Amino acid sequence: MLGETLSPNKEPQRRGPPHAAIRRGMRPTSGPSSPARAVSPGNFLDDDLDPVEVTRSPYAVRAELRRGRGAVSNQSGRYEALAHVEADESFAYDDGWNGADNMPPPIRTTVTIDSSRTILARNTSPDIPFDRSINPYRGCEHGCSYCFARPSHAQLGYSPGLDFETKLVAKPEAALQLRAELAKKNYRPAPIALGTNTDPYQPIEKGLRITREILETLIDCKHPFTIVTKSALVARDIDILAAAAKENLVSVHLSVTTIDRKLSRMMEPRASRPSKRLETIRALSRAGIPVGVMAAPMIPGLTDMELESILEAAATAGAVSAGYLLLRLPLEIKALFTEWLEENVPDRASRVLKLMREAYGGKLYDSEFGLRGVGSGPFAELLGERFRLSAARLGLKGKTHQLDSSKFEAPTAPKKPSPQLDLF
C-alpha cells in the first residue's frame, strides 16, 4: 500500500498562512523516475531556466486523477515550508488487500465560506481602468491553465495548481456587505468591476447565485458596473443587465482566448466553449446590452494567430468594443503553464516560451506597470498594431465604456443582528 510523505519545499520561503492539508496523487520528489531538472515554482520565480531545458514536474498529478482540470501539478504554494507528495513504490508493502486502496480518488471540487468582512477591493494601478472591484469567489473552477490569478491562492495556504480550481472559496454575504459599503456617507460612486481576478460566473455560481445578488443590489442603487467573464451563464441575468443598460449602468465583455474548440477544451477545460461565448455576445447584444470581446490572453505561438478571427467573429455576433492582453505569467504561473505546454502541446512549448521572453525583455514576465499584459519589442508591437488595425476595420471601440455614476442612490444600511439573540 502506498502512503503519503512530506518533503522540504525547496522554494524561497516567505511568511504566510499555515497549510496542513495533504495533497494526494503526486509523484515523488526524488528517486529514479524523477527528472534531473524539473519545473517548480522556485525555478521560475526569477526566470533562471532556459525553456529548452524544461522537463516534467516531479509534482505532477496522475492524469486519471485530474481529468477535466487545467493544471498538471499541485506543488505547494510559495509560502509553505513543506511539499506534500505521494510516497513512491519503495514505501509499498503487502497489506493483504491486493492494492485495492492504492489509487486515491479523483480530485473533487469543494467549496468553503469566506470570512472577509468587506467586499470591495481597491487598487491604484495606473494601467488598470478601474479603482474598485468585487470577486464573489476565490479560486476558479474554469481551470484555465494560464490564469494569472492562480498565485493568489497561495495566500490562503493552497496550491496555485490544482487547488486553485478545486478548493474554492465563496462569499455568500457579498451582497449584504456591498450594501453596507455603498451606504457609507463618504462613499463616492464609480464603476465596480466584476471578474477582475476570478470569474463571477464560474460553474458554482449557477447554484449559489452570489453574483446575481450583487447585481440586484447594484441595480437597486443605480450603481454602474462592468463584467468580464468566459461563461455563457451571464445570459441568465439578462433581465438585470438589460435594465441596467437602459440607465447606462453596465458593460459586459466576454473573454475569448481561442476559437479552436479542441485547444480551448485542453487549456480552459470548464469554461464555456468558444462558440457558446459568441452566442452569448449575440444574446446580450440583442437585449440592448453594451457587449464587447476581450481577446485574452493572446499566447505567442499558440493563439496569437487567431487575433483577427476572434475580433471578426465577435463583431459579427454584435460586439461593439474590444480589448486584448498578452499572456501574463507571474510567480508560480511560469512553472504551471510550462508544465501544461510540455504535456499538451510539446511541439510548440519552446517557441511559445521563446516568444514570451522576447516580449518581456528576456524574461517570461515583467510586472512593471505599462508592460504587463502588453510587452515590448517587435512581437509585442506587431501584436498591438494588428489589434488596432483589425478593431478599426471592424468598427470596434476601445474596451473602456463611459458609464453614468450620477444616478447613484445610496441604500439604507442593513441592520446588524442584535447580540441579544445569542442569549436564546
CATH of the domain at 224: 3.80.30.10
Question: What is the pLDDT at residue 158?
Answer: 92
Question: Using N-to-C axis directions, what is the helix angle for 307-317 and 377-394, rounded to 10°?
Answer: 20
Torsion of CA 210, 193, 254, 235, to 10 degrees: 40
On whether residue 125 sits in a domain, the answer given is: yes
Note down the domain range covering 291: 110-136+171-328+373-394
On whether residue 253 sits in a domain, the answer given is: yes
Question: What is the pLDDT at residue 213?
Answer: 98
On whether residue 295 sits in a domain, the answer given is: yes
Question: What is the pLDDT at residue 237?
Answer: 98
In angstroms, the CA 288 to CA 260 distance is: 28
Question: What is the pLDDT at residue 97?
Answer: 64
On whether residue 13 sits in a domain, the answer given is: no
* The dihedral sign for the CA sequence 236, 206, 132, 359: negative
Domain count, the chain: 1
Q: Of 69, 79, 82, 111, whose CA–CA distance to 21 is shortest?
A: 82
In angstroms, the CA 329 to CA 336 distance is: 9
- pTM value? 0.82
CB neighbours (10 Å) of residue 412? 7
Place of cell 510587452: 375
On whether residue 6 sits in a domain, the answer given is: no
Average pLDDT, the chain: 83
The one-letter amino acid at 369 = F
Q: Does residue 107 contact residue 164 with C-beta atoms inside 8 Å?
A: no
What is each CA distance from 359 to 50, 83, 387, in whole angstroms? Answer: 15, 33, 16
The 10s digit of each residue's pLDDT in 379-391 is 999 999 999 999 9
On whether residue 198 sits in a domain, the answer given is: yes
Q: Of 169, 164, 170, 160, whose CA–CA distance to 142 is shortest?
A: 164
Q: Does residue 293 contact residue 140 with C-beta atoms inside 8 Å?
A: no
Q: Which residues pair with 38 in a beta bridge?
A: none
Question: What is the pLDDT at residue 101?
Answer: 59
* The dihedral sign for the CA sequence 389, 390, 392, 398: negative
On whether residue 360 sits in a domain, the answer given is: no
Q: Does residue 34 contact residue 68 with C-beta atoms inside 8 Å?
A: no
In angstroms, the CA 362 to CA 279 distance is: 39
What is each CA distance from 133 to 116, 117, 121, 196, 352, in whole angstroms? Answer: 15, 15, 5, 7, 32
On whether residue 141 sits in a domain, the answer given is: no
Residue-wise pLDDT tens for the chain (424 aa)? Answer: 343 444 455 444 433 333 333 233 333 333 333 333 333 434 444 444 444 344 445 567 777 778 778 788 777 777 777 766 655 555 555 666 665 556 667 788 999 999 888 999 999 888 888 899 999 999 999 999 999 999 999 999 999 999 999 999 999 999 999 999 999 999 999 999 998 999 999 999 999 999 999 999 999 999 999 999 999 999 999 999 999 999 999 999 999 999 999 999 999 999 999 999 999 999 999 999 999 999 999 999 999 999 999 999 999 999 999 999 999 999 999 999 999 999 999 999 999 999 999 999 999 999 888 889 999 999 999 999 999 999 999 999 986 678 999 999 999 877 765 555 455 4
Q: Of 293, 308, 300, 307, whose CA–CA distance to 329 is shortest?
A: 300
| DSSP SS3 for 44 | helix
Q: Of 24, 205, 203, whose CA–CA distance to 107 is shortest?
A: 24
In angstroms, the CA 150 to CA 160 distance is: 5
